[in-house]
């Protein structure tokens, strides 16, 4: 299969690209000018301009769009960047895919579309995200849906991917806090938010299955194993031999536990890596065999 991949040097993309190549796919990796080289055939594009067909392959069988803005923590300062990458870049790729005869388009979205989280996290829930990150990811989903009449479209809402090499996200931040003795804030119930930390190798397997079986739906992608912040921190502490430093706060947040019925109908959930094993690989910096 000929596959065009964006976000090749990102966290999920850097795990997916080698797998695609090892399985014999012809891989075209989209890069912004001046970015590091990734596996596959390099395709240079800044992500903001109309796609020059001369610099892109004539056609591919599938597009996997993983690129997303790395600027998302400050609003409104980061809003323009988020819109340009999360929405504008998606639109350019959808237009190109429609013109080029692409058969499949896999769009990576985020569980952030469900914010605020105090309700059922099911794919057909009416959404009204209050944060700009979730709003921009939902906007990319909305503009993609009409293209499902042209090619097979799958929208994968990822929840808390983690693994070796990740920086500045929940699991690496908790690891850092445990190791340094920095306070880990949890609600007065003593547990904190429950959520599904999902090993990056398992996200890769879901994407591979979505391509192999031409999925056509919006699907939550998460491990069925949900853990509280206290449980996660305690497991990190046992792994590194340092007791976590918890600080109780009065504020509380809703649990983030997505409905996995759609995923379960397509993907065997027992394939997901237990958090204890994924954490061990993460701390060792070895992703292990992603099979």
Q: Encode pLDDT of 254-286 as tens digits.
A: 899 999 999 999 999 999 999 999 999 999 985
pLDDT of residue 38: 74
Q: Give the contacts of 49 (CB within 8 A, at least 6 positions apart).
A: 92
Contact (Cβ atoms closer than 8 angstroms) between residue 181 and residue 27: no
pLDDT of residue 82: 86
Sorting pLDDT into bands at 50, 70 and 90, what band is 71? low
pLDDT of residue 73: 65
Sorting pLDDT into bands at 50, 70 and 90, what band is 289? very low
Report, at the CATH architecture level, how domain 2-158 is classified: 3-Layer(aba) Sandwich (3.40)
Question: How is residue 145 written in tokens?
Answer: 């849906």
pLDDT of residue 72: 63
- CA 216 to chain centroid, in Å, comes to 18
Predicted confidence (pLDDT) per residue in 2-59, tens digit: 999 999 989 999 999 999 999 999 999 999 887 777 789 999 998 888 898 788 999 9
* 96-125 mean pLDDT: 95
How many of the other CB atoms lie within 10 Å of CB of 174? 22
Predicted confidence (pLDDT) per residue in 73-88, tens digit: 676 778 888 899 899 9
- pTM, two decimal places: 0.94
Which one, of 137, 147, 3, 142, lies nearest residue 64 by Cα?
3
pLDDT of residue 204: 98
Please check the confidence at residue 106 and state whether its pLDDT lies above 70. Answer: yes
pLDDT of residue 78: 80
* 238-255 mean pLDDT: 91
Q: What angle do CA 152, 56, 63 make, to 5 degrees?
A: 20
pLDDT of residue 287: 43
Predicted confidence (pLDDT) per residue in 202-225, tens digit: 999 999 999 999 999 999 999 999
pLDDT of residue 55: 87
**Of 75-79, 95-99, 127-131, 187-191, minimum mean pLDDT range:** 75-79
Which one, of 223, 199, 140, 209, lies nearest residue 11 by Cα?
199
Predicted confidence (pLDDT) per residue in 7-18, tens digit: 998 999 999 999
Q: Which residue has tokens 């299969």?
A: 1
Please check the confidence at residue 67 and state whether its pLDDT lies above 60. Answer: yes
Instruction: Report the alpha-carbon distance of residue 51 to residue 89 in Å, rounded.
Output: 10
């Amino acid at each position: 299969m000929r596959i065009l991949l964006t976000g090749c040097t990102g966290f999920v993309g850097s795990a997916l690209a080698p797998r695609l190549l090892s399985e014999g796919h012809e891989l075209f990796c989209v890069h912004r000018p001046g970015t590091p080289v990734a596996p596959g055939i390099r395709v240079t594009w800044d992500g903001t301009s109309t796609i020059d067909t001369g610099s892109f392959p004539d056609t591919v069988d599938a597009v996997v769009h993983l690129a997303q803005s790395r600027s998302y923590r400050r609003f409104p300062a980061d809003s323009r960047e988020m819109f340009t990458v999360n929405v504008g870049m998606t639109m350019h790729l959808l237009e190109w895919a429609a013109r080029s005869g692409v058969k499949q388009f896999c769009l990576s979205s985020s569980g952030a579309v469900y914010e605020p989280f105090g309700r059922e996290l099911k794919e057909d829930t009416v959404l009204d995200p209050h944060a700009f990150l979730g709003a921009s990811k939902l906007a990319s989903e909305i503009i993609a849906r009409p293209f499902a009449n042209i090619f097979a479209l799958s929208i994968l809402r990822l929840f808390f991917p983690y693994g070796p090499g990740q920086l500045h996200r929940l699991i690496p931040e908790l690891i850092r806090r445990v190791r340094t003795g920095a306070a880990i804030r949890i609600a007065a119930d003593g547990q904190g938010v429950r959520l599904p930390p999902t090993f990056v190798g398992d996200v890769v397997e879901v994407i591979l299955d979505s391509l192999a079986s031409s999925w056509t739906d919006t699907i939550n992608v998460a491990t069925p194993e949900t853990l509280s912040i206290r449980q996660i921190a305690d497991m990190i502490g046992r792994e590194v031999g340092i007791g976590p430093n918890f600080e109780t706060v009065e504020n509380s947040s809703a649990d983030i536990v997505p409905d996995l019925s759609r995923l379960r109908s397509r993907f065997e959930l027992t394939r997901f890596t237990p958090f204890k094993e994924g954490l061990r690989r993460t701390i060792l910096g070895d992703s292990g065999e992603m099979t």
